[in-house]
Structures are given as C-alpha cells and as structure tokens.
Amino acid sequence: MKVRFVTLGCKLNFAESSALGKELLLRGHQRASLNEVPDVCVVNTCSVTDAADHKDRQTINQLHRKYPNAIIIVTGCYAQLQPQQIAQIEGVDYVLGQEEKYSITQLVDELCDSLEDGVPPTERPTGYSLEAQKIRVANIREVEEFHGVHSADDRTRCFIKVQDGCNYFCTYCTIPYARGKSRNPKIEEVVKDAQEALKQGAKELIITGVNIGDFGRSTGESFIELLRALDELGDEAIRREARGMDYRVRISSCEPNLLTDEIIEFVAQSKHFAPHFHIPLQSGSNEVLKIMKRRYTRELFAERVRRIKELMPHAFIGVDCMVGVRGETEEYWEDYLAFIKGLDVSQLHVFTYSERANTKMLEMDLYVVPKKERQRRSKILHEVSEEKTKAFYAKHAGSKAVVLWESKKEGDQMSGFTENYIKVYGPYDKAKINTFEAIRI
C-alpha cells in the first residue's frame, strides 16, 4: 500500500513517524510521493496548544478533501487526549493512542490484506473493524514500555529517542496525560542505536525525548552517564565503516534543574558534543514559575546561562518562553520581560498560553490575561528573540567554525550549521553533502 505520513509538532513526533515509515517500507509498503494518491494517510498529531489542535483538525480535513478514498489513521498526543472528538471528524477511520501508535504497521498490513481479498476493512472480523475498534487508546499513565526509535530526517542528521513521558505535572501542561510517565531504555540500547546511525552515514546525532534530563528513571542510570557513552561511540570496525567516525551530538532540550554544572562542564570539554543548549524557561517571574509548578527559580536559570557562557562563550542557547498564562499580571510580565532581555541567550521559542482541559491551572482563581494582550506579549518576545539572534550572529562574524553541509539545494547555494548552530551558506557542491568543513563565518 502507498502510505503518507503527515507529522505535526515536536522533533520526537518526527522521529517516531520516520521510524514507523521505515518499518512499513521493510514490510513491503511504499511511501506515497507528493504526486501520488495515497491508500493510507497517517496523521501524527500535536496537542501542546489550542492552535496545535486546530492545525491537527485542519490537516485531517484537508487530507480527506484531497484524498476522499484514502484510509485516515490519526495518532499522537491529540489522539491520546481527545479520541472521541477526532473520531467524529469526517473521513477519520482509526484513532490510535500513543502506545497503539506502534501497531500502525500491523494495521496497514491487515488493511492491505483486506483489499487483496476483497473484504472491506470495515467488515473484517480480526480486531480492526470500525464499529468495534475505531478508537484504540490505552491509559497512557499505566504504560511501562519504552519504544526506542532512531531516524534520519535527511542524510546528515539522525534523531535518537532516549526518553519518553514526564512526571512533572506543571499546571498548564497536558504532556503527562498525552505521553505517560517518564521512562527510558538502557544506555547500551541507545549506544547501539547511535552506532547504527553512524554506520548508515549520519554525521550529527540529536538526542531527543520529552524530558531527557530525567533519563535513567527506568534503569537506575543517569543522564551524564549517557552523555559520556555517546562521546565514546564505536569500536575500530565501526570507525572504519563510518569513515573515520567524524560525528557530533546535540542535546535537544534539558530542564534547567536537571542541567547540572557537571553536564555543562562535560559538554565544554567533550570531543563530540556541540556547544548548543536548549533550556525551557517558560517565565522570568518567580511568582509565575510557582503558579506553573516549575522546579526552579529564575536565579537558578540565570546561573545555568552564566556557567555555560563562562565555559563556552560561543555557545548557542535557545530558550522556551510562554506568555499570557493565568496569573501573569502586568507587573509579573514586566518583571519577566526585563529578566529575559538581560539574559545572554541566542534565541527564544515563544508559546502563547491557551487553556487546556484537565490542567490544574484551570482550577486556580487567578488573573486571566485577555487574548489580545497575550498576542501583544508574544509579539514583543518574538521581537526580543530576533534582536538576540542577530546580535549572536554578528558577534561571531569572521570567527572560525566547522560547518556540516546539508543536502538541500537553494538556488545555486547549499547550507549547513556550525557546531554552535549558526546557519551558513556556500556555493552548491554535491561532493560536500554530509561532510564537515572548517570555515570562517
């Protein structure tokens, strides 16, 4: 069967979709190109905000209008949280939760068998009938199993899932209900995935998850032990197979209370880890952080940034920021804005708060920020982010760096990222794709 994956949201979703797509190819199915009509559309959804939910629904409707005869399978966070709502959308055939996501390959196999023997999928008695099991969603908080994936988004980089779920229950967030409890594989399993990725030609490994600093909860290991293992990948045979074993590793995101001095110091002296950090702040007001039930203060956050810059002045630091949460008064907002302006960071990833069902914040008697004011604050932070990124780039103009060239051709140019995440361009040269080159920015 010809299958098309449409993935929304985080890098973890993209890694999981890529791995499932690869497994379907191994089972004899095909990936539908943009010019082909798919037999099956798999929508891997996000539900981090109301806007994400809206985009999910919009995507499903567009696919049904464009491919009215395609079987549509919806999975991911939105499917886990709102399966009944999704099941009512015209054109949706199956709704699979996070744990059931990994049965998609079996489902596609059985749908293929249905078409071959002439029995419509809706009439098959083998457990996938629309009437009986259109919605297949388990209680994700009871799930113990970890499904590891490693998958490339191009010839250059590979995302390796090292953790899933979250135990934090911040008052504004639904992720613990969408992804389940924190769990992870053993270090040896991650190392095996990383080695396989290098054998297949990846030059950059990105370790990803929901709360990766919590790694080790399932296995009694620690995040720093994982980092040390990934800095020492491979034996001689793998080194030869991976053409010299040139590679680098990026940490996708780490909570500030879990980003210890030991981790920062390790990255600063490591052989392969990039000087690139992504740290969730969410608010620069201590009072709002308490409302959110975040596990740190802004003083701790500022100390993490200071320590990174002390050891790695050239490091890129991205920061997650949320605006307009309940309780964010004008006074708290102004305090937040002043704090973020004073941080030596490189980029802000700005989220506008939206009310999420079943979150504790809705039960609290707090000031509600008007939606127009939320949008105004978001716009201000986007402008601050742009200023900080421009300043970071300008500061490094003329400096030496190592770029990893990517495959995408943009006119007569190609692009790539330096170790500290500066995007650079150069004349297109096919021979340079997926290679490192020392340059001057």
**Looking at the chain, how many residues does it have?**
441
pLDDT digits (tens, 9 = 90+) for 255-273: 999 999 999 999 999 999 9
Question: How many other C-beta atoms can be found within 10 angstroms of the C-beta atom of residue 131?
Answer: 7
CA-closest candidate to residue 405, choices 420, 384, 423, 393: 423
CATH number for the domain spanning 310: value is 3.30.750.200
User: What integer pLDDT is reported at residue 113 of this predicted model?
Assistant: 81
Residue 152 banded pLDDT, cuts 50, 70, 90: low
Residues 278-316 have pLDDT tens digits of 999 999 999 999 999 999 999 999 999 999 999 999 999
Cα gap 16→119, rounded to integer Å = 30
H, E, C per residue of 362-417: HHCCCCCCCHHHHHHHHHHHHHHHHHHHHHHHHHCCCCEEEEEEEEEEECCEEEEE
Could you give the number of structural domains in the chain? 4
Answer yes or no: is 17 within a domain: yes
User: Angle 261-269/223-230 helices, nearest 10 degrees?
Assistant: 10
Instruction: Find the domain containing 409 and state its range.
Output: 400-440
**The two structure tokens encoding residue 403:** 């770029």
Model pLDDT, residue 150: 76
Q: Domain for residue 254, yes or no?
A: yes
Measure the CA–CA gap between 44 and 365, rounded to whole angstroms.
Answer: 35
pLDDT in tens, 337-374: 999 999 999 999 999 999 998 899 999 999 999 999 99
Which ranges constitute the DSSP H helices of 138-252?
175-179, 187-199, 223-230, 236-241
User: Do 178 and 218 share a structural domain?
Assistant: yes
Instruction: Specify the pairing of strand 40-45 against strand 71-76.
Output: parallel
Check whether residue 239 and residue 346 sit in a common domain: no
Q: Residues 24, 2: contact at Cβ < 8 Å?
A: no
Q: What CATH number does the domain containing 60 carry?
A: 3.40.50.12160
Residue 265 Cα distances to 97, 270, 413, angstroms: 39, 9, 37
362 and 311 within one domain: yes
